[in-house]
Amino acid sequence: MVKPPLPPESSQGDRIQSNPVRLGARLRLARQTRGLTLKGLAQAADCSESLLSKIENGKASPSLPMLHRLVRALDSNIGWMFEETDGEEGVVFRAGTRPLIALDPLRRGEGISLERVIPYSTGHLLQCNIHHIDAGGQSAGPIQHLGEEVGYVLVGEIELMLGEQTYRLSAGDSFVFNSELSHWYRNVGKERASIFWVNTPPTF
């Protein structure tokens, strides 16, 4: 299937007029959720990596054609990018209504989905999800980044690898570690496992 030609870059006259910080945060969230690097998304959207970085940090606004290319590469939509409510006004999030994000198996792991306990918002210092890991599923890794993480195994059996150490955990066990330590995990049980996971600062 032949892709339609990319729209040309436009003049300053049709730059998106919006809160650039909010738009940048939305773009960064969508990119990180899909496991894309800045370079990868820039190439897919036919823009420069430096410009994309400025947009994500609220220091520049994309043209409308460029935004179309970005959301197409992210399999998202422009409406979500400009949605005014992103969780910062909410207090209670009912069972069955929380967003469920399936992670890219090539970059974030196999058989893993994240249930958002705290909907994404630029106002939150914490990120909290329930990691659901299918039998045989595992995270991509090991990975390292800034921050701190804590988890509580709700159900199932997992192995948590931290540096050179491996820990076998089951329902009721908890853990905490510095995110700069290389880490990854996998489900070693016969049933789906779930982990209540909190990290700061938000990373995906």
If asked whether residues 63 and 109 sit together in one domain, one would say: no
Q: Which domain holds residue 155?
A: 100-200
81, 113, 141 - which closes a domain: 81
Q: Could you tell me if 106 and 141 lie in one domain?
A: yes
Same domain, 105 and 40: no
- Is pTM, for the whole model, over 0.85? no
Give the burial class of 96: count Cβ atoms within 10 A of its Cβ; 0-12 exposed, 13-18 middle, 19 or more buried: exposed
What single-letter amino acid sits at 148?
A: E
Instruction: Looking at the structure, tell me whether residues 124 and 34 fall in a common domain.
Output: no
* Residue 37, domain CATH: 1.10.260.40
Residues 75, 104 share a domain: no
Among 48, 81, 114, residue at a domain's last position:
81
Q: How far apart are CA 19 and CA 175, in angstroms?
A: 38
Structural domain contains residue 129: yes
Amino acid identity of 103? Answer: L
Q: Considering only CA atoms, which of 123, 149, 150, 141 is closest in space to residue 184?
A: 141
Domain-located, residue 86: no
From first to last of its 204 residues, the chain has per-residue pLDDT tens of: 433 333 333 333 333 445 678 788 888 888 888 888 999 999 999 999 999 999 999 888 887 678 878 988 888 766 567 655 544 457 788 888 887 876 644 444 578 888 888 876 656 678 899 999 999 999 877 888 778 999 999 999 999 999 999 999 999 999 999 988 999 999 999 999 999 999 987 666
Cβ count near 143 (within 10 Å): 12
Same domain, 121 and 188: yes
For residue 106, the model assigns a pLDDT of 44
Q: What is the model's pLDDT at position 66? A: 82
Is residue 31 in some structural domain? yes
CA 145 to each of CA 76, 142, 162: distance values in angstroms, whole numbers, following the listed order: 26, 11, 13
Q: Which of 81, 112, 142 is a domain's end point?
A: 81
